[in-house]
Structure 1
Amino acid sequence: MNKVLIIGAGGVGSVVAHKCAMLPEVFGEITLASRTVSKCEAIAASIKERTGREIATFQVDADNSSETAELIRKVGATLLINVALPYQDLTLMDACLEAGIDYLDTANYEPKDVAKFEYSWQWEYQERFEKAGLSALLGSGFDPGVTNVFTAWALKHHFDEIHTLDIIDVNGGDHGHAFATNFNPEINIREVTAECRHWENGEFVETAPMSKHQGFTCPEGVGSYEIYRMYHEELESLTKHIPTIKRAQFWMSFSPNYLKHLEVLQNVGMTRIDEVEYQGQKIIPLQFLKAVLPNPGDLGVTTKGRTCIGNVITGIKDGKEKAIYIYNICDHEKCFEEVGSQAISYTTGVPAMIGAKQMLSGEWKKPGVWNMEQHDPDAFMADLNVHGLPWTCIELTPEQAATFTVA
């Protein structure tokens, strides 16, 4: 019987736990652990009500690898699903090595004191996992995650060479708050305010944050939005593992209201990640801001609308130019009805469950540390259609691809 340990009881952790519980033939015993055990217990109660299944809950400090390894041994897990904070990736990988189990996460490591996220720290674990006969799967969310698999699937079935890749993430939802982030505010704001990097002719080119933007009209009536170019971690692994890519960019939609609030918060110093002294205590402004903003895990109650995330890809097939757009559209209200979460958590949590399913089946289990595009994409793509994230692939002309005319 497969036994999994899920660490993290936020919005994504809740989706992962619910979706795993819906597949008892794959996930035999499920344990959910977090620093705050009451959050785990609330999720467990929801799972019991929705599926009839009971899951175990524990308190754990994910910053403590020995404590985590002890919990792993206690519950007998063979796979750890990390949906905690990116700061904790390395300690959780250490715990897996100490306890001798496989590892999966949805976002790459980011040090607390530097707004810099990249795979280099985790790629350094390759030899240790390989020697231990253990497998680590990095970035099994949507972006990164599904967007990587979309690219690998496109290369396998539609292209001999991929030349350009544009990943476009649009959230057409409305949560009804003056200002809120759709996932962890601390991580979200650090990403958005970081310098932009995109891949161009064999190197990363750095530009000011969100200094390039344009309009984009989503298919299937999701709507038209302004999308901004920013750096995202899948660009690092995809350009490494698919060397024919000449240009790769990541785009995300932001409303004028979001940008207005973010600008003010930056101007007054609330997005700082260095310590300041306040009434004799040292606090980090961004962490304080996180504490007063709406909890992303609670946004599902009010959020309406749809997300649209996909890849515009161009390249060569049989000596001829080719372009496609592959995408998923996800409805916030339908996600809430199914698992009690909004679509941002859902689109990250479902791929984490599917990635775990691929590992437990042996399809994606090989010693070492791997990114999503390094595995065969077909079974994962099939599971997306079955488990709540159906995708569509359409042919584009090169002109449509160049102008992002996909609707």
Structure 2
Amino acid sequence: MAKVLIIGAGGVSNVVVHKCAQLPEVFSEIVLASRTESKCKAIAESLSRPIKTAQVDADNVPELVALIKAEQPDLVINVALPYQDLHIMDACLEAGVDYLDTANYEPLDTAKFEYSWQWAYQDKFKNAGITALLGSGFDPGVTNVYTAYLKKHHFDEIHYLDIIDCNAGDHGKPFATNFNPEINIREVTANGRYWENGEWVETAPLSVNRVFDFPADIGPKKIYMMYHEELESIVKHFPDIKRARFWMTFSDNYLKHLEVLGNVGMTSIEPVMFEGREIVPLQFLKALLPDPASLGPLTKGKTCIGCLAQGVKDGKPKTMFVYNVCDHQECYREVKSQAISYTTGVPAMIGAKMMLEGKWKKPGVWNMEQYDPDPFMDDLNKYGLPWELVEIDASVMEG
């Protein structure tokens, strides 16, 4: 029996709140807070059990501290924006409360996301006797746990790791993003990076692609190599890995819109003067695009996210693919969200459950793969993200 404070009221938060509310034996009390309390109340009204809502500015540390001290939660679940991670971590430190997020810190004025800022809090959290669990979403999050599970049970050494993320869903809109447009477009338009032989190799945005044949009737899709944050922690904690890459699918339609928007400057994060005031083009574009939460009832099709690992076991080469397939419409029926929010929100609930049950808890700042993967993998099967594990031909991702 524990009390959680959930900060943020977007699409992922909606899933986290619904999934926590389904487990009153773990999450006995839930407080949902956001800058716009009306969004919290809308989520609260969709639940079958009562929760408390509050207004808070996640950029205002004293305001956060006051709320945390007033509510006295056992854990703060951060599903606000990545720009706000450090503010919420500072507030948790001051209030002496455990912390969890789903995405690593990203400065507002620089399209750069990495763990260095949050890893720098290790001693502060350790000395305070509290735990911070970083990146408890799907990628990062489940993909980190998948890697740890493969290493624990199926490999003596993993040499090559490919994380592959496919959204084969269709929302019928000319152009929209499945999660926060600002974060999504910043990720996609950044240079690609992958790890090889002890160093990072940089590529032009979306310049490397190939076709991968996905399971569950999804079939062959073009995947594009890009940088994603879990690579940074995975190669740090699994030094046997010689090469690690991240791949994502994009439709030709999505890429064409993105190219045109980029050519006219709409994806820039550099402020421009417009009618006497500064605006950031990407933030203006975000205001024009459909709210990702509105895509839930429109989206049909499936997602498939998994880890393909090549390595050795008992001296013999081995290649395995562990993955989850999610159906957009089934997710919407359960929690009124499409699968992109669902696949992030469910692992956030499970990570919180691991912490509150004491299975994943030690003072300091930790990534998902640093804990025992088994109880988390068991809960994925129980709470909506069942996984499959298959042995496949190593040649599928060569080169």
- TM bin, normalised by shorter chain, reads over 0.9
| Aligned: 1:117 with 2:113 | yes
- Could you tell me which runs of 5 or more consecutive residues in structure 2 were left unpaired when the two chains were aligned: none
How large is the Cα RMSD of the aligned pairs?
A: 0.8
Q: Which residue of 2 aligns with 1:82?
A: 78
Equivalence map 1:313-324=2 (5 Å): 313-324=309-320
Q: Which residue of 1 aligns with 2:43?
A: 43
Q: Which residue of 2 aligns with 1:56?
A: 52
Q: Which residue of 2 aligns with 1:167?
A: 163
User: Partners in 1 of 2:396 and 2:329 — Cα distance?
Assistant: 31
| Aligned: 1:283 with 2:266 | no
Q: How far did 1:65 drift?
A: 1.2
SS at structure 1 position matched to 2:344: helix
User: Partners in 2 of 1:17 and 1:402 — Cα distance?
Assistant: 41
Does the Cα contact within 8 Å between 1:330 and 1:389 map onto a contact in 2? Answer: yes
SS at structure 2 position matched to 1:28: strand
User: Partners in 2 of 1:88 and 1:279 — Cα distance?
Assistant: 29
Does the Cα contact within 8 Å between 1:323 and 1:401 map onto a contact in 2? Answer: no
Q: Which residue of 2 aligns with 1:295?
A: 291
| Aligned: 1:362 with 2:366 | no
- Per-residue CA deviation, residues 283-321 of structure 1 (Å, 9 max, x unaligned), is 100000001100001110100000000011011111111
One-letter amino acid matched to 1:126: Q
1:384 to 373, 380, 385: 380
Q: Which residue of 1 aligns with 2:153?
A: 157
| Aligned: 1:222 with 2:250 | no
- Could you tell me which runs of 5 or more consecutive residues in structure 1 were left unpaired when the two chains were aligned: none
Q: Which residue of 1 aligns with 2:62?
A: 66
Q: Which residue of 2 aligns with 1:308?
A: 304
Does the Cα contact within 8 Å between 1:314 and 1:401 map onto a contact in 2? Answer: no
One-letter amino acid matched to 1:277: M
User: Partners in 2 of 1:71 and 1:4 — Cα distance?
Assistant: 12
| Aligned: 1:328 with 2:324 | yes
One-letter amino acid matched to 2:14: S
One-letter amino acid matched to 2:69: R
- Per-residue CA deviation, residues 250-306 of structure 1 (Å, 9 max, x unaligned), is 000000000000000000000110111111111100000001100001110100000
| Aligned: 1:31 with 2:31 | yes
| Aligned: 1:341 with 2:332 | no
- Per-residue CA deviation, residues 194-253 of structure 1 (Å, 9 max, x unaligned), is 111000000110110110001111112023211100000000000000000000000000
One-letter amino acid matched to 2:138: F
Q: Which residue of 2 aligns with 1:145?
A: 141
One-letter amino acid matched to 1:207: T
User: Partners in 2 of 1:336 and 1:288 — Cα distance?
Assistant: 28
Q: How far did 1:398 drift?
A: 2.3
- Per-residue CA deviation, residues 37-57 of structure 1 (Å, 9 max, x unaligned), is 11000000001xxxx210100
| Aligned: 1:21 with 2:28 | no
SS at structure 2 position matched to 1:110: coil
| Aligned: 1:253 with 2:249 | yes
User: Partners in 1 of 2:395 and 2:137 — Cα distance?
Assistant: 30
One-letter amino acid matched to 1:11: G
Q: How far did 1:402 drift?
A: 3.1
Question: TM-score, with normalisation over the residues of structure 1?
Answer: 0.97
One-letter amino acid matched to 1:92: I
User: Partners in 1 of 2:394 and 2:303 — Cα distance?
Assistant: 25
SS at structure 1 position matched to 2:398: helix
Q: Which residue of 1 aligns with 2:262?
A: 266
Q: How far did 1:401 drift?
A: 4.9
User: Partners in 2 of 1:116 and 1:93 — Cα distance?
Assistant: 19
User: Partners in 1 of 2:397 and 2:194 — Cα distance?
Assistant: 17
Equivalence map 1:175-186=2 (5 Å): 175-186=171-182
One-letter amino acid matched to 1:323: T
User: Partners in 2 of 1:181 and 1:220 — Cα distance?
Assistant: 23
Q: Percent identity?
A: 69
Q: Which residue of 1 aligns with 2:199?
A: 203
Q: How far did 1:399 drift?
A: 2.5
User: Partners in 2 of 1:83 and 1:106 — Cα distance?
Assistant: 7
1:394 to 387, 390, 396: 390
Indicate how the Cα distance of structure 1 residues 400 and 268 shifts in structure 2: closer, same or farther if over 3 A, else same. closer
Q: How far did 1:76 drift?
A: 1.4
SS at structure 2 position matched to 1:103: strand
